Amino acid sequence: MLMKVFKHGIGRGEKVIGYVTDSNVEKRKHSPPKILRGDPDQVKRLIDTTSRKWRYTSGVLSWAPEDNVTPEKEKELMDSFEQHAFAGIEPDQYSILWVRHSHTTHHELHFVIPRTELRSDKALNPCPPGWDKQYNPWCELWNRRNNWARPDELKRTRLVSPGASIGSYCDSTAAEIRTSLTESLMQGVEAGLIKNRTDIITALKQVGFTVPRRGKDYLTIEIPSDSQTALQKKKKTNTPKRSSLCKIMERRKTAD
Mean pLDDT, the chain cut into blocks of 10 residues (256 residues total): 92 92 81 94 96 95 91 97 96 97 88 97 95 94 92 54 45 64 73 80 80 84 54 42 42 43
> Is there a contact between 184 and 159 (Cβ–Cβ < 8 Å)?
yes
The confidence score (pLDDT) of residue 247 equals: 42
- The full set of domains in the chain, from first to last, is 2-153 (3.30.930.30), 166-251 (no CATH)
3-state secondary structure of 123: strand
What's the confidence (pLDDT) of residue 231?
43
Sign of the alpha-carbon dihedral angle for 64, 66, 67, 68: positive
The strand pairing partners of 147, in sequence order, are none
pLDDT at 104: 79
pLDDT at residue 138 in the model:
96
pTM over 0.75: no
Q: How far apart are CA 199 and CA 45, in angstroms?
A: 45
